[in-house]
């Protein structure tokens, strides 16, 4: 089985229903996830596949498409994964980065270090941007400086690893069009650049797979606004026109792509405000690929789509965060009471067949996951929850639960509200829902007034990626605004270990602190539930829930 993909992350080939059924008949079932085994095969089409043609794929409205350092949510990243090629690929089985000849879609020829702090990155020759300009070491240095200079970019914190980033941000305004330079990034020659980190970090090659580290051509650096609606990337697809907000983003195969070419001529990423509307189009054959099926439709989809239904383990992690900047949620005992009052198993059994109850702050698909690490905070115990709730002084006034609309969260959030009402006695509960493009800015500006739903899909296979990005004091993804110096110190300690394996003990100790403080409630670990029309074959979705668009073949139009 090929495990290559356009994004060059380790591709989790999802379990086709027909193969699952065969496995139940006596063969060995292949399962994806933390045991290191791959999930089973690709979805098939009913006709012999041929290259060419265009297919459509579901996405939600992105918050941004440019610059890469400002695209950290899956709606936008789905498109960027078609437009850009990363420096390295990821192998989830081994938690290792891959480059050179072993990674045909990765731009790096070599990534090397002698001390885990100073890294030399050498690029493959012959790669170009979609405007024909060459991809050089300067393309990366300039793009990284551009992303690091703007503290409002959602991926800005990824550059915190690099020497000189802190000083650059202090000297830059969010309006800066001509950013300065980080002292830790320098060009050696056209195809080589050097990166010096603030401290040793053995997992650095995993990090540079992320979207924030994509290169930028000179045209976008000279006129950033011109690329906001039509980014110029270096990947297998290029923009076909501009982003039609709330409608679609179309991309066409880039014929001069230096990696392995895509099979299809183009992809129409269709934007839906409601996941159920998208599913209706999928059923009608008006949409070809959907990687986020409505939970309530999964059982029926298995029967309806047959071998075009795909399922596998995902790195996705759903949680309900507390706005700790609001004094009402300052007491960890109150937060723990909320968490213990929620019956996750009952919710997944009745409402979310594509999820399993979360029992840790780290997904089971990565090294370092510890079963039950969340402890009693994730154990349903309504009596103890009520006792802790009362001891913490309870909650006065109306409780507002926040979540993004149109993505299938309504029913399970309603179940959460019912359990909080029944088990804690909070009688006045209301909901605040927004489209994701409006929801995220509310979180960023601390305008959320109650527990809020969010999800995370790993950027690279390490517990650090969950713990630091969601809970570290200065992390851009820490929307709870929780701060704990001991937690931060343990994360730093794990980051400076000689290897990922050597750092796991420190990460585990940090997770134990989170289990006591409960800055957010771990809710669910995800599975990927996807389906496709008979117009396409070769459908793959990776462990980060992204469609592998290069492998899809159009078999009919």
* Least confident range of 24-28, 239-243, 331-335, 524-528: 24-28
Q: How confident is the model at residue 4 (pLDDT cuts 50, 70, 90)?
A: very low
| Whether residue 518 is found in the same domain as residue 459 | yes
Give pLDDT, residue 292.
Answer: 85
| Whether residue 492 is found in the same domain as residue 519 | yes
Q: Is residue 23 part of a domain?
A: yes
SS3 125: coil
| Whether residue 88 is found in the same domain as residue 164 | yes
Q: Is residue 102 part of a domain?
A: yes
Q: Is residue 321 part of a domain?
A: yes
Tens of pLDDT along 348-386? 999 998 899 999 999 998 889 999 999 999 999 999 999
The answer to whether residue 45 scores a pLDDT higher than 50 is no
| Whether residue 474 is found in the same domain as residue 537 | no
Q: How confident is the model at residue 17 (pLDDT cuts 50, 70, 90)?
A: very low
CATH code assigned at 430: 3.10.105.10
| Whether residue 457 is found in the same domain as residue 414 | yes
| Whether residue 545 is found in the same domain as residue 483 | no
| Whether residue 518 is found in the same domain as residue 542 | no
R_g (Cα) of the chain, nearest Å: 23
Give pLDDT, residue 92.
Answer: 65
The answer to whether residue 128 scores a pLDDT higher than 70 is yes
Tens of pLDDT along 239-255? 999 999 999 999 999 99
Q: Is residue 136 part of a domain?
A: yes
Q: Is residue 152 part of a domain?
A: yes
Give pLDDT, residue 557.
Answer: 64
Burial class (CB in 10 A: 0-12, 13-18, 19+), 475: middle
CATH code assigned at 54: 3.40.190.10
Number of domains in the chain: 2
Give pLDDT, residue 295.
Answer: 81
Range of the domain at 403: 315-526
19 against 451, higher pLDDT: 451
| Whether residue 20 is found in the same domain as residue 102 | yes
Residue 45 has which token pair?
């089409």
Q: Is residue 105 part of a domain?
A: yes
Give pLDDT, residue 5.
Answer: 29
Q: How confident is the model at residue 172 (pLDDT cuts 50, 70, 90)?
A: low
Q: Is residue 8 part of a domain?
A: no
Concatenating the DSSP letter of every residue in 78-103 gives HHHHHH---SSEEETTTTEEE-GGG-
| Whether residue 519 is found in the same domain as residue 546 | no
| Whether residue 154 is found in the same domain as residue 24 | yes
The alpha carbon dihedral of 360, 366, 370, 371 has a sign of positive
The answer to whether residue 528 scores a pLDDT higher than 90 is no
What are the φ/ψ torsions at residue 69 (nearest 5 degrees)?
A: -70, -10
Burial class (CB in 10 A: 0-12, 13-18, 19+), 1: exposed
Task: Please state, in angstroms and rounded to a whole number, the distance separating the CA atoms of residues 441 and 165.
Answer: 24
Give pLDDT, residue 85.
Answer: 98
| Whether residue 243 is found in the same domain as residue 338 | no
Average pLDDT, the chain: 88
Q: How confident is the model at residue 22 (pLDDT cuts 50, 70, 90)?
A: very low
Residue 434 has which token pair?
């927004």
Q: Is residue 4 part of a domain?
A: no
| Whether residue 251 is found in the same domain as residue 348 | no
């Amino acid at each position: 089985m090929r495990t290559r993909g356009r994004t060059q992350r380790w591709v989790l080939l999802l379990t086709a229903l027909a193969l699952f059924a065969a496995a139940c008949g006596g063969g060995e079932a292949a399962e994806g996830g933390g045991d290191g085994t791959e999930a089973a095969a690709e979805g098939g089409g009913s006709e012999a596949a041929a290259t060419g043609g265009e297919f459509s794929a579901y996405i939600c409205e992105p918050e941004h498409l440019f610059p890469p350092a400002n695209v950290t949510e899956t709606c936008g990243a789905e498109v960027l994964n078609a437009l850009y090629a990363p420096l390295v690929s990821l192998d989830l089985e081994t938690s290792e980065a891959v480059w050179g000849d072993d990674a045909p879609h990765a731009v790096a020829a070599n990534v090397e270090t002698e001390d885990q702090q100073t890294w030399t990155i050498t690029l493959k020759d012959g790669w170009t941007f979609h405007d024909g300009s060459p991809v050089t070491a300067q393309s990366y240095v300039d793009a990284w400086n551009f992303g690091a200079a703007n503290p409002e970019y959602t991926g800005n914190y990824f550059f915190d690893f690099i020497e000189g980033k802190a000083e650059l941000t202090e000297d830059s305004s969010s309006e800066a069009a001509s950013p300065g330079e980080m002292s830790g990034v320098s060009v050696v020659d056209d195809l080589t650049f050097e990166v010096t980190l603030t401290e040793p970090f053995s997992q650095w090659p995993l990090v540079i797979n992320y979207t924030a580290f994509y290169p930028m051509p000179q045209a976008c650096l000279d006129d950033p606004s011109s690329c906001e609606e039509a980014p110029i990337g270096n990947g297998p697809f290029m923009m076909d026109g501009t982003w039609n907000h709330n409608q679609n983003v179309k991309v066409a195969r880039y014929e001069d792509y230096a990696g392995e070419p895509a099979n299809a001529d183009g992809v129409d990423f269709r934007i839906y405000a409601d996941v159920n509307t998208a599913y209706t189009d999928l059923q009608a054959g008006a949409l070809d690929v959907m990687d986020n099926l409505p939970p309530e439709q999964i059982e029926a989809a298995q029967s309806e789509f047959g071998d075009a239904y795909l399922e596998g383990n995902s790195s996705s992690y759903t949680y309900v965060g507390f706005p700790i900047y609001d004094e009402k949620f300052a007491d960890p005992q109150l937060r723990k009471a909320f968490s213990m009052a929620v019956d996750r198993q009952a919710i997944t059994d009745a409402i979310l067949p594509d999820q399993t109850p979360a029992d840790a702050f780290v997904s089971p698909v990565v090294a370092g996951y510890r079963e039950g690490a969340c402890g009693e905070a994730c154990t349903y115990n309504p009596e103890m929850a009520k006792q802790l709730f009362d001891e913490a002084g309870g909650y006065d006034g109306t409780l507002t639960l926040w979540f993004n609309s149109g993505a299938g969260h309504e029913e399970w959030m309603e179940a959460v509200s019912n359990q909080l009402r029944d088990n804690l006695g909070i009688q006045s509960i209301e909901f605040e829902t927004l489209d994701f493009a409006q929801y995220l800015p509310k979180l960023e500006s601390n305008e959320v007034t109650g527990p809020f739903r969010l999800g995370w899909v790993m950027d690279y296979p390490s517990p650090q990626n969950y713990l630091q990005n969601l809970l570290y004091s200065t992390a851009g993804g820490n929307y709870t605004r929780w701060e704990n110096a001991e937690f931060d110190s343990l994360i730093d300690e794990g980051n400076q270990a000689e290897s990922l394996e050597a750092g796991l003990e420190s990460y585990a100790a940090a997770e134990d602190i989170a289990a006591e403080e409960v800055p957010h409630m771990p809710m669910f670990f995800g599975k990927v539930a996807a389906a496709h029309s008979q117009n396409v074959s070769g459908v793959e979705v990776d462990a980060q829930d992204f469609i592998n668009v290069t492998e899809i073949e159009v078999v009919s139009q």
